[in-house]
Amino acid sequence: MKNPVFTGAGVAIITPMYEDGSINFDELGRIVEDQIARGTDAIVICGTTGECSTMTDEEQLAAIKYTVDLVNHRVPVIAGAGSNDTDHGCALAAKSAACGADALLLVTPYYNKTSQAGLVAHFTAMAEAGGIPVILYNVPSRTGLNIAPETARELSKHPLINGIKEASGNIGQVAKIAALCGDELNIYSGNDDQVVPLLSLGGKGVISVVSNVKPELVHNCCKAWFDGDTAKARELQLEMLPLCDALFCEVNPIPVKYAMNVLGWEAGECRLPLVEPGDAHKEQIEQALQAAGLIKE
C-alpha cells in the first residue's frame, strides 16, 4: 500500500506575472499564503494552470524553489516537471527534487506521443531521475495520448510512482484503474466537476483549478466525503458546477487568471499564445464569481 502524497484538495496554482511577462514572486507568495490559510491541502506549482509550458527551465525551477521555501512543509508541494523529451524530463525531475519538492507531477508526452510501452519507459526513467514520489498526469485532451488502465497498473508497480491525476473525463476508465491498481496507485481527479465521482471510486482528492478562487469549497467537498457525509459532499460538488463551467469556458488558465484579477489579485495576463477571454466569457466568469459570493455588491 502506498500512502498518498496528499488527500483532499490540491490547488493547481496560477503563476502571477508582471506586465512584462516576468513572474511576480511577491504576488505568488501572497496567493500561496492565502491558499494555505483557507484550507488548501497541497500546492501544485508549475502545472498546466501555472503556465509551465511557456516557462524556461530556470523560471520553472525558480518558482518551485520559491514555493517550497515559502511553504516550509506546512502542506505538500508538488512540482510540475513533465516533458515530451525524456532526457529533458529527467533533468527537470532531478532539479525539481533538489529544490525540495515533495512529489512530481509528470504529464504524458505530447505531440511526439509514444506507445504504451514507451509510456512505461518514459515515466520510469523520470521517476528514477527524480527519486521522489511521482503523480502521473493523464490529460489526453491536451496531449493526444491516453494512459491505458493496464499501463497504469504496470507503472503502479514502481515504488516511486505513487498516484495519477486522471483528467480523461472517462469515469469508466477511472473505475478500471481503481480495480486494477488498488492501493498501489492513488487517484486524483483532474476535473473539478468530477471530484465526488472519483472519490466514490476510492480517489484521494483533486488537483483543482477552482481552488484558486474558492479553496474552502473544494477542500470542504473532499473533507465531507472523507468524513462520511456523502450528501454534503454531493451538495458541495453541485455548488461547484457554475464555477467549473466558468473557469473552463476557454482553455485553462485563461479564465482562472482573469477571475483572479477580478478578485483583486495581481495575476497579470497569460503568456502568448494564450490571450484574455472574450467579452461574453468575461461576463460569465464575473457572474459565476458573484453567484459564489466572491464578489461583494
Active-site residue 165, yes or no?
Answer: yes
Per-residue pLDDT tens digits for 222-231 = 999 999 999 9
Q: Which three cell numbers stand for residue 273?
A: 499564445
69-79 burial, b at 16+ Cβ within 10 Å, e below that, comes to ebbeeebbbbb
Q: Give the residue from 88, 52, 25 showing the smallest Cα distance to 274.
A: 52
pLDDT at 173: 98
Helix (H, G, I), strand (E, B) or coil at 78: strand
Residue 200 binned pLDDT confidence (cut-offs 50, 70, 90) = very high
Distance in angstroms (rounded) separating the CA atoms of residues 58 and 60: 5
Q: Tell me, what's the pLDDT at 297? A: 60
pLDDT at residue 296 in the model: 74
- Residue 59: is its pLDDT beyond 80? yes
pTM (2 decimals)?
0.97
- Burial of 202 per CB tally in 10 Å (0-12, 13-18, 19+): middle
Tens of pLDDT, residue by residue over 108-158, are: 999 999 999 999 999 999 999 999 999 999 999 999 999 999 999 999 999
Strand partners, 10: 42, 207
Among this protein's residues, is 157 annotated catalytic?
no
Q: Tell me the longest C-alpha to C-alpha distance in the chain.
A: 55
Active-site hit among 95, 165, 204, 282: 165
pLDDT band at 24 (very low <50, low <70, confident <90, very high): very high
Nearest to 103 by CA among 152, 157, 59, 41: 41
pLDDT recorded at residue 61: 98
Annotated active-site residue in 18, 65, 111, 137: 137
Sign of CA pseudo-dihedral 93, 96, 102, 105: negative
Instruction: Identify each DSSP E strand in the chain by its residue range.
Output: 8-12, 42-45, 77-80, 103-107, 134-138, 161-166, 186-189, 205-208
Average pLDDT value for residue range 33-54:
98
Sign of CA dihedral 4, 6, 8, 12: negative
pLDDT at residue 53 greater than cutoff 80: yes
Q: How far apart are CA 165 and CA 134, in angstroms?
A: 10
pLDDT tens sequence across 242-273: 999 999 999 999 999 999 999 999 999 999 99
User: Does 214 score more than 90 pLDDT?
Assistant: yes
Nearest to 112 by CA among 88, 93, 84: 84
Mean pLDDT for the chain overall: 98
Whether residue 276 is predicted with pLDDT greater than 90 in this model: the reply is yes
